[in-house]
Chain A
């Protein structure tokens, strides 16, 4: 693994003798905490795996491990990211296979360590190694823009920005985009949208958010109780065929997989009562 250290300068570069890169490492980031990075990582990963892709999810939030819980895999985690980076165990040993899908694997974060313990060059090398055998490597980035963020981004080829329709989240997303490599073209997921509030002009719309961020729109996820229930149970909604939010995650996975899916939409059309309100309000 150490042989990679000097060889990997750019993300596309492959160390001599290494296998040809098969997959893409995508970092899921936001700057602001609590906007749904981990839930997004779990669900997009599950949806990609359900499409038959081999997916590795890497929890880069060292010290605040949570991806295992969201996936319902907490009882299966024996080793973590730092064990692998420090060569205490093999990568294969540390990867936890999802109980519902054999294509989905998790590399958990170390709970009792700090973000500063991660070596950036080793992290890059590990992502390159994962990309040899997986189609997608999704990296769940910690909040903030410090060392943890830098390490999470280091080995990635692409970024997904998760942003909620709030002033603080959009501001942080804008800041994070500015910190990513300038030749990247990050894609945007607008999370926790509440259509009824957008309709009443009480929440920024997807267009409002993207008027400012101006990123390719990868998906829109509405805020719904089902997400909380799913997290309670540790079952990603993306596996739920009946869920509209699950369908939204599956559409994101299809777009990431290169399928030409129609543009993401969320119904913010007013009902009859709302239309009367808009008519009266508009004429006032």
Chain B
């Protein structure tokens, strides 16, 4: 009975749908109307990738696609060969074996530790997924097992 009344009153929030559609369509419009931004993005993207591998930039294709729930960037970049002088790979990601330590590490403000935990610039570049305008996925940087500073903020 109560459910029946609730369903009667529950608003159909089509304005929210309208707003979300509008946000995506404008993002897509603005991208297509900003060729200079796209060219700059492509140049940066190619430069980063070229540090690791030799690419065929003349046959590369970077496009933006308006999908159901986001706008996605797709990069199709032919790779010719690995660079002999490529930078060293980033340090391996080590999983914490101990669930207790894991819980402590997560309870500590991860963001506050980020600057210290950051590897030196240039050693860990990754090509990130496209900014789709929605909440960016936060990449939790796990602490290496041998790093003892994790517990320090707890003590102080």
A contact residues vs B (CB 8 Å cutoff): 166-167, 170-171, 174-175, 178, 198, 200-205, 208, 211-212, 276-278, 280-281, 283-284
Contact of B12 among A202, A204, A208, A211 (CB under 8 A): A202
11 A–B contacts from the bound complex (CB under 8 Å):
A167-B21, A170-B22, A171-B29, A174-B26, A202-B12, A202-B15, A212-B23, A212-B26, A280-B9, A281-B6, A284-B9
B-side interface residues, number (CB < 8 Å): 21
Please name the residue on chain B nearest to A175 by beta carbon: B29
Least CB distance from A168 to B in Å reads: 9
Contact of A201 with B13 at beta-carbon distance under 8 Å, contacts A167-B18, A281-B6 already known: yes
Contact of A277 with B11 at beta-carbon distance under 8 Å, contacts A201-B16, A204-B18 already known: yes
Q: Is the interface of B mostly helix, strand, loop or mixed?
A: helix
Contact of B10 among A171, A174, A204, A281 (CB under 8 A): A281
B15 and A283 contacting across the interface, CB-CB below 8 Å: no
The answer to whether B33 has its CB under 8 Å from any CB of chain A is yes
On chain B, the residues within 8 Å of A280 by CB distance are 5-6, 8-10
Contact of A212 among B10, B11, B22, B33 (CB under 8 A): B22
Q: Is the interface of A mostly helix, strand, loop or mixed?
A: helix
The answer to whether B25 has its CB under 8 Å from any CB of chain A is yes
The answer to whether B81 has its CB under 8 Å from any CB of chain A is no
Contact of A198 with B15 at beta-carbon distance under 8 Å, contacts A167-B25, A175-B29 already known: yes
On chain A, the residues within 8 Å of B156 by CB distance are none
On chain A, the residues within 8 Å of B25 by CB distance are 167, 171
B15 and A204 contacting across the interface, CB-CB below 8 Å: yes
Least CB distance from A238 to B in Å reads: 29
On chain B, the residues within 8 Å of A281 by CB distance are 6, 9-11
Please name the residue on chain B nearest to A276 by beta carbon: B9
On chain A, the residues within 8 Å of B15 by CB distance are 198, 201-205, 208
On chain A, the residues within 8 Å of B22 by CB distance are 167, 170-171, 204, 212
The answer to whether B137 has its CB under 8 Å from any CB of chain A is no
* Known contacts A202-B13, A208-B18; 5 further A-B pairs (Cβ under 8 A): A174-B26, A202-B11, A202-B12, A280-B9, A284-B9
Least CB distance from B18 to A in Å reads: 5
Please name the residue on chain B nearest to A279 by beta carbon: B9
The answer to whether B14 has its CB under 8 Å from any CB of chain A is yes
A208 and B26 contacting across the interface, CB-CB below 8 Å: no
